[in-house]
Structure 1
Amino acid sequence: MPRYFFHTQIGEDIISDPTGIELRDPDAAWEAARDTIRAALHDPQDQARLMTACLMVTDEAGEVVLEFPFSEAVVLPPLDDPTRH
């Protein structure tokens, strides 16, 4: 199985993923990226700072497979949701 690495870019800073994870294909890497971002955004204190971040997924050769902006992983409640502020 191919190994994918999930590097986080926040402004000019990059937090590297030195170990990565084995996944079946790029679609699985996209799903893992989305889940990782949503977990990171779970803490309201970090949300504002992370909305400008991007998760860069690379393969074992270091080629960028996908770039996933944190802002694209946000799921807003429906407009008719009474808990929405």
Structure 2
Amino acid sequence: MPRYYFHTHIGDDVVVDPDGRDLSSPDAAWAAAQILARQLLQGADSDPQLLRAVLFVEDQTGEIVLEFPLIEALGIEPLSDPPDGTRH
């Protein structure tokens, strides 16, 4: 069974998953990333940067198989800067 590693990128900081998880497929890794994202977002009150965090999921060969923005777990599109550069 393939092993997947879930590394959390928060700005320039990276929290490395040294152990990984044995999962049956990339689809199972996506489902696990969604659950992990929801768990991490429970702490977003104390760290709003988590709303911009991304999980990078690697397989055992080191290949990134998916990128999962934590905010996707909430069903919200990631925030982007307005085209004219203004913010309200």
Q: Could you tell me the TM-score, scaled by structure 2's length?
A: 0.80
Structure-2 change in CA distance of 1:47 and 1:72 (3 Å): farther
Equivalent in the alignment of 2:29: 29
- SS of 2:45's equivalent in the other structure is helix
- Structure 2: give runs of 5+ residues left out of the alignment: 77-88
Partner Cα distance (2:70, 2:46) in 1: 12
Deviation string for 1:25-83 (max 9, x for gaps)?
A: 0000000000000011123524622010000000001000000001111147xxxxxxx
Written as runs of structure 1 = structure 2, the 5 A alignment for 1:2-81 is: 2-46=2-46, 48-75=48-75
Partner Cα distance (1:20, 1:12) in 2: 21
The one-letter amino acid paired with 2:8 is: T
Superposed CA RMSD in Å reads 1.5
Structure-2 change in CA distance of 1:51 and 1:24 (3 Å): same
Deviates more, 1:38-47 or 1:26-35: 38-47
Partner Cα distance (2:28, 2:63) in 1: 16
- Structure 1: give runs of 5+ residues left out of the alignment: 77-85
Partner Cα distance (1:75, 1:58) in 2: 23
Write out the 4+ residue segments of structure 1 that deviate beyond 4 Å after TM superposition.
none
Partner Cα distance (1:74, 1:51) in 2: 10
